[in-house]
A and B are shown apart, each in its own frame.
Chain A
Amino acid sequence: MNVPILQMRGITKTFPGVKALQDVTLDVNRGEVHAICGENGAGKSTLMKVLSGVYAHNTFEGDILFENEPCDFSSISDSEKRGIVIIHQELALSPYLSIAENIYLGNEQARNGWVDWRKTNLEAAKLLARVGLSENPVTPIQHISVGKQQLVEIAKALSKEVKLLILDEPTAALNDEDSDHLLDLILHLKGQGVTSIIISHKLNEIRKVADAVTIIRDGKSIETLRLDQGQITQERIIRGMVGRDLESLYPDRTPSIGEEVLRIEDWTVQHPQDHTRTVVHNASLNVRKGEVVGLAGLMGAGRTELAMSIFGRTYGRAVSGKVFKYGKEINTATVSDAIRHGIAYATEDRKHYGLNLIEDIKRNISMAALHKLAKRGWVDKNEETTVANRYRKSMNIKAPSVAAITGKLSGGNQQKVVLSKWMFSDPDVLILDEPTRGIDVGAKFEIYTIIAELAAEGKAVIVISSELPELLGICDRIYTLSAGHVTGEVPIAEASQETLMHFMTQEKE
């Protein structure tokens, strides 16, 4: 029964300055559903990109054997020829083309260079029947839901005579009903002899479909658990995912916590496009003066969505709920309202949402509070430079001068510019979304120190992070989110990676 279809041996993939994968081993048997688990950034997606040829065979070390033959893929089309098809988290569909056209995109059913529409639509209809989708093949993709689009992706994979189907977080963007349907389909295809690799955070899904689970942590394969040996249990998977040594250091601080500054009640947010999905469900939380509160959650838990919807409704639609500051209800419907009420949000994606990369440091720092430097609409540039120099010194921003262009700074220094910008707006509440993402260890310590100092000054700080040790190292209290619900509130004294991960993977209905 256990015939290997795929063997990956000693896979090591290095990016400039980072070892993304280190000596990873993966064995997948024919006809099984094999789950890959790991924290955000553990290297799961990188491993799948290595397998599917997104990274050419000469850019990594190690061997891949597929059906006992070595693989030297230089591109996705090479791996597809062998029957390995990857479906990415962001679907690769063209919204205005029909279902059938999308299925045969790049693989057109043609005769002498002319598309055979009859054949295209007939064959597409057969494939749709196989994935259990009752839609007309000529319907444009944009007219069907994301869940159905996911099925079209699978139909597209089937059209390429897939032997090994790789799904990268296939249910992350789906509602519960669509997720169930998709998981059933994976099991159905397994019956037809299609082997699947599924990357997922959702442990209940894994328990439902997986025959084996390989755990990746910090770019290394930790272990493979097998269902037939009774190894797939939630506790076992969680232990594998978080059980790493703590290497980072955190500044010492004695919290002095005062009155409540901000409270959110019954906060509910819908997805901006997909109206059937509620991204945040009745979330309630609060943060006090001098306190650092963590928001923990896996990908798709709704942390950023919660924060951005509070900060001027910059995410989502049909936002409902109440925000209180010092016990009084406030309105944060626009960003300037939120800033006026002393709320600041430093984004997780500083390149796209945080900085004007073609401008210099001083103009980025002053951007959110230019009025503080101006009289009757005219900016005092000398004062602006003085302010920027002050932050350059206190935040230790490494740049030749405050006239340096922010796009040319390192990630850590860019983050310090973002933090300076918000500190200059003088908020009472700072929401920091993944404040140390893409930053090296040394700069991380500096950011932690800044956070500690902000709390010591009496600011209320909310930190969103995917790194549990980081939250445990700097927070006084941690909320966990899972699928848009606040599933737990843990004081730091009772918090551990295991308890947090337990709440983070908990389903609430």
Chain B
Amino acid sequence: MSALRESLGFLTSRLRQVGIFVALILIVLLFQVLTDGILLQPQNVTNLVVQNSYILILAIGMVMVIIAGHIDLSVGSIAGFIGAVSGVMIVHWGWAWWIAIPACLLVGALVGAWQGYWIAYVGIPAFIVTLAGMLIFRGLTLITLKNQQITPFPAELRALGGGFLPDISGGNSVLEWLTVILGVGGTAAILFQAIKERRIRRRFNLENEPMAWFAIKTGFIALLMLAITFLLASYRGTPIVLIVLAVLVIVYSALMNNSIFGRHTYAIGGNLHAAELSGIKTKAVTFRLFVNMGVLAALAGLVFTARLNSAQPAGGTGFELDSIAAAFIGGAAVQGGIGTVAGAMVGGLIMGVLNNGMSILGLGTDYQQLIKGLVLLLAVGFDIFNKNRSSGGGSGIGKRFKLKTTPPAGTETKEPAADRPVAVPAGSQQAVRNP
């Protein structure tokens, strides 16, 4: 009984995290029913991954920028611009893909450095700089393309958008075995990592997650991965872009959690002044975040161009809004300091399933936009509502914490007073010095 209450208490304290998972499941189930099972057919799941890959790549960089308390409105235009640049390099100049791809990423880094300079060192708000960037790089896209699309691209580059890992079973098997190996291996690695981290948390007495919830959560994630593996394996195998995305998610999650750079990003977003007064070089961190965003936007542009097999004047339009929405639905805070790469991925998947499901149902972009807008509003509204409840007091959740703004009378005095004699560290005689 008490274990149950403990679990419930934990769930309410993590309402947001639980909520977003439940929302994803509900949305998937809803469209699975509405589309008569088309949503989860192997071919459609493969489509879903490939279609959303560039939004998810952008969402990684976007959530980092948002954690630092900024925003980037220019990523769609940058993606379009890099698509155009890649068209000129590969199709017009005939560069090999292995030269063109690093060159495009470098151009992306330069674009990011340009914006980062204005934001970090000149001090213009990111909203303005990237709004300008949205116009500047769309303009440059049109100029580069001379208002005409560039096509076709060689097969090596197209593989980045629509290619699959080779079929090692020679096309005779029902399941694609390389995918199965990767999927099962990846699932095992995730289980292993989760258990290891829980062990460490327990060792340091930091664990507050009930065993039942841990088991359900980890088990669910493992099942989800195996299901996706099965679906992919029964169609054409692992899309190359999924491998790229998986590597990015792993690397960037680690970067944000465990690197000095990532931790400084959270510190800047949480309290800029405190970060500055702690010796963090806030400008350099901000600059690097935008360089990184430029590189990821370039990668997204390449993937998008490769998938369409054409660099288009309007390429990337609206990507910024989808990736921003993904970050916020995934739990990032508008004020900065809060958010995770994994959360942004789930947020991006929610947007993706909505897009895909509504397209299957034949809803026009009019209704699609309406519904996506409402989902974004509800997700962030739920966040704010939740936060007000936990700090405003009155509700059960509020009572579980000491209130932040107005501590109840006596909390400050009681607690230390209770064991004041113990409070005197060793070595100091508790004598009184009366000046």
Annotate B405-416 by CB proximity to A: 1 below 8 A, 0 otherwise. Answer: 011111111011
Assess whether B270 is interfacial by the CB under 8 Å rule: yes
Residue of A nearest to B415 (CB): A398
- Bitwise, B262-278 to A at CB < 8 A (1) or not (0) is 01101100110111111
Supposing A389-B204, A473-B435 touch, asked if A359 and B427 sit within 8 A by C-beta, the answer is: no
The yes or no answer to B429 lying at the interface (CB within 8 A) is yes
Specify which chain A residues have a CB less than 8 angstroms from the CB of B206 in the assembled complex. 385, 401-403
Interface digits, A440-466 against B, CB 8 Å rule (1 contact, 0 not)? Answer: 111101100110110010000000000
Q: Is B172 located at the chain interface by the 8 A CB criterion?
A: no
Q: Pick the interface stretch among A125-133, A134-142, A214-222, A364-372.
A: A364-372
- Residues of B with C-beta under 8 A to A252: 428-433
Q: Which residue of A lies closest to B408 (CB)?
A: A16
> Inside 8 A of A314's CB, which chain B residues have their CB?
276-277
Please tell me if the beta carbons of B270 and A394 are within 8 angstroms of each other in the complex: no
* B263 with A370: CB separation less than 8 A: yes
Partner-binding segment picked from B90-98, B221-229, B253-261: B253-261
B residues in contact with A312, CB < 8 Å: 277, 279
A143 at the interface (CB under 8 A from B): no
**Distance between Cα atoms of A188 and B208 in the complex (Å):** 67
Complex CA gap A252/B424 in Å reads: 11
Q: Which residues of A contact B274 (CB under 8 A)?
A: 352-356, 367
Answer whether residue B2 sits at the interface, using C-beta atoms and an 8 A cutoff: no
Check if A356 sits within 8 Å of B279, measured CB to CB: no
Q: Give residues of chain B (389-435) contacting chain A, Cβ–Cβ below 8 Å.
A: 401-402, 404, 406-413, 415-417, 420, 422-425, 427-435
Number of residues of chain B lying within 8 A (CB) of chain A: 55
Tell whether A155 is near chain B: CB-to-CB under 8 Å.
Answer: no
Query: In the complex, what residue of chain B is closest to A347 when comparing beta carbons?
Result: B277
Partner of B430 from the list A251, A338, A367, A411 (CB cut-off 8 Å) is A251
For window 371-408 of A, CB contacts with B under 8 Å fall at: 371, 374, 377-379, 381-382, 385-386, 389, 394, 396, 398, 401-403, 407-408
Give the nearest-CB partner of B280 in chain A: A367
Contact A335 B427 (CB under 8 A): no
Selected from A246, A356, A398, the residue in CB contact (under 8 A) with B435 is: A246
The interface residues of chain B lying within 8 Å CB-to-CB of A394 are 425
**Chain A 298-326 interface residues, beta-carbon cutoff 8 Å to B:** 311-312, 314
Asked if B270 contacts A358 (CB within 8 A), the reply is: yes
| Shortest distance from the beta carbon of A345 to any chain B beta carbon, whole Å | 7
Which partner residue on chain A sits nearest B427 by CB separation? A453
**In contact, B204 and A335 (Cβ under 8 angstroms):** no
The answer to whether residues A249 and B432 also contact, given A335-B278, A401-B206 and a CB cut-off of 8 A, is yes
User: Does A368 lie within 8 Å of B407, measured CB to CB?
Assistant: no
- Please tell me if the beta carbons of A357 and B271 are within 8 angstroms of each other in the complex: yes
Judging by beta carbons under 8 Å apart, are A336 and B430 in contact? no
Report the Cα distance A355→B415, complex, angstroms. 21
**CA A443 to CA B425, docked complex, whole Å:** 12
Report Cα–Cα, A377/B424, bound state, in Å. Answer: 37
B281 sits at the interface (CB 8 A): yes
**How many A-B Cβ pairs are below 8 Å?**
177
Judge whether A492 is part of the interface by a CB distance below 8 angstroms: yes
Specify which of A311, A374, A398 is in contact with B416 (CB 8 Å cutoff).
Answer: A398
**A34: B residues at CB distance < 8 A:** none
CB of A371, distance to nearest CB on chain B (Å): 7
> What per-residue 1/0 map shows which CB atoms of A483-504 lie under 8 Å from chain B?
0000000001001100000000
Residues of B contacting A442 with CB < 8 Å? 413, 416-417, 420, 423
Nearest CB on B from A381, distance (A):
6
**Which residues of the other chain, A, contact B431 by a CB distance below 8 angstroms?**
251-252
- B429 (CB) vs chain A CBs: closest residue: A252
Q: A374 to chain B: which residues have CB within 8 Å?
A: 259-260
Q: Does A201 count as interface, using CB distance less than 8 angstroms?
A: no
Asked whether B271 lies within 8 Å of A449 as measured between CB atoms, the reply is no
A181 to B241, CA, bound (A): 73
Question: Shortest Cβ distance from B97 into chain A, in angstroms?
Answer: 31
Inter-chain contact B277/A353, CB cutoff 8 Å = yes
Q: Which residues of A sit under 8 angstroms from B407, Cβ to Cβ?
A: 16-17, 410
Q: Mark B114-140, 1 if CB is under 8 A from A, else 0.
A: 000000000000000000000000000
Q: C-beta contact mask, A191-222 vs B, less than 8 Å → 1, else 0?
A: 00000000000000000000000000000000
Roughly how many angstroms separate A335 CA and B273 CA in the complex, as a whole number? 12
Residue A412 is within 8 A (CB to CB) of chain B in the complex: yes
Q: A335-B277, A408-B402 known; A16 and B416 CB under 8 Å? A: no
Return B133 CB to nearest CB of chain A, in Å: 28
Partner of B424, one of A412, A445, A495: A445
* Whole-angstrom CA separation of A353 from B279 in the bound complex: 12
Residues of A within 8 A of B406 (CB): 16
Query: Smallest distance from the beta carbon of B102 to chain A beta carbons, Å?
Result: 23
Q: Report if B330 contacts A (CB, 8 A).
A: no
Q: Which residues of chain A are within 8 angstroms of B423 by Cβ–Cβ distance? A: 396, 442, 445-446, 449
In the complex, whether B337 has a CB less than 8 A from a CB of chain A is yes
A469 is an interface residue with CB less than 8 A from chain B:
yes
A16 to B431, CA, bound (A): 31
- Distance in Å: Cβ of A439 to nearest Cβ of chain B: 8
Residues of B within 8 A of A495 (CB): 435
CB distance from B422 to the nearest CB of A (A): 8
Say yes or no for A148: interface residue by CB 8 A criterion: no
Complex Cα–Cα for A439 and B408 (A): 15
Task: Choose among A250, A335, A378 the residue that contacts B432 (Cβ–Cβ < 8 A).
Answer: A250
Query: Are A368 and B412 within 8 A (Cβ)?
Result: no
CA distance A379 to B263 in the complex (A): 9
Is the beta-carbon distance between A253 and B417 smaller than 8 angstroms?
no
Report the bound CA distance from A253 to B431 in whole Å: 9
Question: Across the interface, which residues of B come within 8 angstroms of A386, CB to CB?
Answer: 204
Kindly identify which residue among A368, A440, A453 contacts B279, using a CB–CB cutoff of 8 Å: A368
Quote the shortest CB–CB distance from A364 to chain B (angstroms).
8
Q: Which residues of B contact A402 (CB under 8 A)?
A: 204, 206
Distance from A75 Cβ to chain B, minimum over Cβ atoms (Å): 20
| CA distance in complex: A385, B201 (Å) | 9
- In the complex, the answer to whether B416 meets A370 with C-beta atoms within 8 Å is no
Chain B residue nearest to A446 (CB atoms) is B423
Q: Is the CB of B412 within 8 A of A412?
A: yes
B425 touches A449 (CB 8 A): yes
- Cα–Cα distance between A321 and B252 once the two chains are bound (Å): 45
Cross-interface CB contact of B275 among A17, A311, A367, cutoff 8 Å: A367
From B263, B337, B402, B409, contact of A16 by CB (8 A): B409
Query: In whole angstroms, what is the CA distance A371 to B260 when docked?
Result: 7
Question: Which listed residue, A336, A357, A425, touches B270 by the CB 8 Å rule?
Answer: A357
Bound Cα distance A336, B423 (Å):
33
Tell me if B375 counts as interface (CB < 8 A to partner A). Answer: no
Bound-state Cα–Cα, A377 to B337, Å: 20
Q: Which chain A residues lie closer than 8 Å to B278 at the CB level?
A: 335, 367-368, 421
A412-B425 in contact (CB<8A): no
Interface residues in A59-81 (C-beta closer than 8 Å to B): none
B142 at interface, CB cutoff 8 A: no
Contact of A410 among B264, B273, B402 (CB under 8 A): B402
Q: Does B188 touch A at the CB level, under 8 Å?
A: no
**Chain A residues, CB < 8 A from B408:** 16
Contact A449 B435 (CB under 8 A): no
Whether the pair B417, A379 counts as a contact (CB closer than 8 A) is: no
B338 within 8 A of A: yes
Question: Known pairs A16-B409, A336-B281, A495-B435. 19 more at Cβ < 8 A?
Answer: A16-B406, A16-B408, A251-B424, A252-B430, A347-B277, A353-B271, A355-B274, A356-B266, A357-B271, A359-B270, A367-B274, A378-B258, A382-B204, A398-B416, A403-B206, A408-B402, A442-B417, A445-B423, A446-B424
A-to-B contact residues, CB < 8 Å: 16-17, 246, 249-253, 311-312, 314, 334-336, 338-339, 345, 347, 352-359, 363, 366-368, 370-371, 374, 377-379, 381-382, 385-386, 389, 394, 396, 398, 401-403, 407-412, 421, 425, 439-443, 445-446, 449-450, 452-453, 456, 469, 472-473, 492, 495-496
A-B contact pairs, 6 of them (CB 8 A): A253-B428, A367-B263, A370-B264, A401-B208, A410-B416, A456-B427
3 closest Cβ pairs, A-B complex: A356-B270, A472-B435, A252-B431
